[in-house]
A and B are shown apart, each in its own frame.
Chain A
Amino acid sequence: MNADRYTPCRALIAEDEPILAATLARTLGALWPALEIVATAANGIAAVEQALALRPDVLFLDIKMPGQTGLEGAEELLERWDGARPFPQIVFVTAYDDYAVQAFERAALDYVLKPVSEARLARTVERLQARLREQPADGGLAQLVAQMRALLPEAAPSGRLHVIRAAVGNMVRMIPVQDVVYFQALDKYVNVATAEGDALIRLSLKDLLAQLDGTRFCQVSRGCIVNLGQVTNASRDAAGKLTLALRSRPDKLKVSPLFAHLFRQM
């Protein structure tokens, strides 16, 4: 136990309210003197960039932040993290919020409630130290992926979409949904990729997913839904990242670790 306290360890705090960030840093300093707070990020976008740049061992992520939520940030980080270093241990921080708390308990993810009680934070610190000491081969990534997957909203089907009406220049193209190779989110639009070319629709990927046939289409990353009938193979690169090759387009699609289980051999 004592050895843990002095093993150098680096943490990043993502919290938009400055006093809360300072308070968390202060309390952590008292409970875990060997922990170095390498940076504090004030929004969900900076949190991901800083985490990628600084490679902390522990990441405290506030749920409600400008830019994107802590959950969205964790998803993005999972997609963009290269396998060279172990994935950080993530602890979510949230104020009273029925939904989030229930979701975390269901997923057995580590979370801390604001206002933070020192006793509760001490338990989290112990758990973190234990996990960092064990350091499983994949950095506990498999467990995190399984837990995060439990948090993903179940797509509640809201009527089937058969034809996509997409803008191409100043006309509207009618695309039968089975002709779509994949959908890719682009800022405010979604790109509809077909064998013949691309077209844009203004709909969120989340709303789109709810209207698609779940046996034919599936989400493979935060920004991409693929037509499973168009996938020829899935291959893993040296860093362990999964990519999909497609039948009628030359593009390769990256698969987020959150969805990699869909392309494992039977």
Chain B
Amino acid sequence: MASLTQSLPLGAPARPRLKRLADDLGISVVLSAWAAVLITLIDGRPGELYRQMVYSMCIGLIAVLLIDAVRLQFWDDPVRRRRFMLPFLALVVLSAPFAHYSGCVLGEFILGAGWAPLRDYPGRMHVQMILFSLLGICATFLLIMNRERIARIQAERGEARARAETIGRQAAQAQLRLLQAQIEPHMLFNTLANLQGLIAIDPGRAATMLDQLIQYLRATLGATRAESTTLGEEFAAIEAYLGLMAVRMGPRLAYGCSLPAALRGARLPPMLLQPLVENAIVHGLEPALDGGAIRIEARTRDGQLEITVADSGCGLQAAADGHGHDHGHGQTGGHGIGIATTRERLQALYGERAALTLAPGSPHGTLACLTLPLEPA
């Protein structure tokens, strides 16, 4: 489960406050410009547009700078938003006359009248304009906060989707691994039947066979839990399986495994190699009248791990034609299912860095080649 929490994104990274303040000031500039145009239209003096624009911008920028700075510094907690509502509204209302007054002073200065406190402020006209400013400020903040809400919802949505995808992928992995680690009842009962026979005929060999069965079961059943295993362990499990099959098939099966000592500790996911070997036996060698040989080899090539499973059995085409007995299970081309599952797992685990190819062997049979990134112990 450790990997589940690790790989989940821990919330979208918060944008820096200064960046958000700059964004909000941008919104205030746009809305102030609209307000100036509106006032000029109502006023009916087009020549005053420039002056209106300067006053409007000054008032808007001062108000947003003040309110937003306080909001972002002290009240920026999406969880406790409701508790900050009242002080925030109070700040908006109080900042309207302040912003109007200082905006007008700053505007006069910019327009060349110099620094001077306004006379007879606030007059009747001024009260109207203060109320209009308050309206503008409220509109600006409604817009700002709505934008923030939408961004937040989108971020949460994206996060939920990413989480669902991760969980889905992990579930699929587990499912695939389980699928590959299934022990075929037919194989198990046939092995037990051989064991039953050997106990009477040759108790020494029966004991060896029982050891191999235990090793095979442990590797196969344990594989559903383990995240990864070593090549040495995989080869030991495969040799146990081949040992069982050699007792069952008698002289019809010859086998050999080759694993360089340096690769014993290399790590790989469990149940990747064993299905290839079981395929070669079940679809390649068991259906062949005279059986044949199987050889499993691991080596490094171009810094990658390459494992080949070569059998001299009846080959891909014959298996696809249904000569590999499926008697009634409808598993024609059983090669296909196992191979597709293995390819899916490789894709999920390594993307393009791993591959599985199947080719006809020479002079007959099948050659499976598995290429993986080399992960030393």
Q: List A residues at the B interface (Cβ < 8 Å).
A: 16-20, 22-23, 26, 42-43, 45, 63-67, 69, 71, 95-97, 99-100, 103, 113-116, 153, 188, 204
Contact = CB atoms under 8 A, between A and B. Distances in A.
Chain B contact patch, size range: 20 to 34
Which residue, A23, A65, A66, A153, has most C-beta atoms of chain B within 10 A? A66
Interface string B49-91: 0000000000000000000000000000000000000000000
Given A17-B248, A66-B287, A96 B200 contact: no
Contacts of A96: 185-186, 188-189
B27 interface: no
Contacts of A16: 249, 252
B304 interface: no
Contacts of A116: 193, 196
A23 B200 contact: yes
B248 A66 contact: no
Given A20-B197, A23-B200, A64-B327, 16 more contacts: A16-B249, A17-B194, A17-B248, A17-B250, A19-B250, A23-B196, A23-B197, A26-B200, A42-B252, A64-B325, A66-B289, A96-B189, A113-B189, A115-B192, A116-B196, A204-B322
B288 A115 contact: no
A103 B192 CA distance: 23
Contacts of B286: 66
B120 interface: no
- A interface: dominant SS: loop
B344 to A, nearest CB: 27
A100 B327 contact: yes
Interface string B168-203: 000000000000000001101110111111101100
B361 to A, nearest CB: 18
B247 interface: yes
B197 A19 contact: yes
A64 B200 CA distance: 24
Given A66-B288, A66-B289, A100 B328 contact: yes
Contacts of B15: none
B301 interface: no
A153 B201 contact: no
Interface string B314-357: 00000001100101110000000000000000000000000000
B332 to A, nearest CB: 10
A100 B201 CA distance: 29
A19 B197 CA distance: 6
Contacts of B186: 64, 95-97
B327 A114 contact: no
A26 B200 CA distance: 10
Nearest to B205: A19
Given A69-B327, A100-B328, A103-B328, A20 B194 contact: yes
A19 B201 contact: yes
A25 B289 CA distance: 22
